[in-house]
Amino acid sequence: AQSVAQPEDQVNVAEGNPLTVKCTYSVSGNPYLFWYVQYPNRGLQFLLKYITGDNLVKGSYGFEAEFNKSQTSFHLKKPSALVSDSALYFCAVRDKNRDDKIIFGKGTRLHILP
């Protein structure tokens, strides 16, 4: 079955340090991959996507993600974390076997410690 996994429920990072939020996927064919962020009591906001081309994708708020086909991963990264980056992050992948609907991971809560 096609799926997306976020292996960490929570990630804690000190302010100013680099951060990584992990995502792995399992799909047939070429993956379309997305990252979204959710702040408290808000809907999800689109951060970035990989469709094709350069493996390093840059997105909003200084975030970037690297598509790694051999490791089937699409980890979200930022060189220097801000307290305001504290939020819930979702990875998502196109499900080719479900009429191209997007399926979401369970989310990773990111805590940036001052």
Partner 1 sequence: DAGITQSPRHKVTETGTPVTLRCHQTENHRYMYWYRQDPGHGLRLIHYSYGVKDTDKGEVSDGYSVSRSKTEDFLLTLESATSSQTSVYFCAISEGQANHEQYFGPGTRLTVT
Report in angstroms how near the CB of residue 17 gets to partner 1 at its nearest.
Answer: 26
**What is the DSSP-derived secondary structure letter of residue 62?**
G
Report in angstroms how near the CB of residue 76 gets to partner 1 at its nearest.
Answer: 15
Cα–chain center distance at 28: 19
State yes or no: residue 22 binds partner 1 (CB under 8 A): no
CB under 8 Å to 91, separation ≥6 — which residues? 4, 6, 21, 23, 25, 33, 34, 35, 74, 76, 104, 105
Q: By CB under 8 A, what part of segment 24-43 binds partner 1?
A: 32, 34, 36, 41-43
Residues binding partner 1 (CB under 8 A): 32, 34, 36, 41-46, 49, 51, 90, 94, 96, 99-107
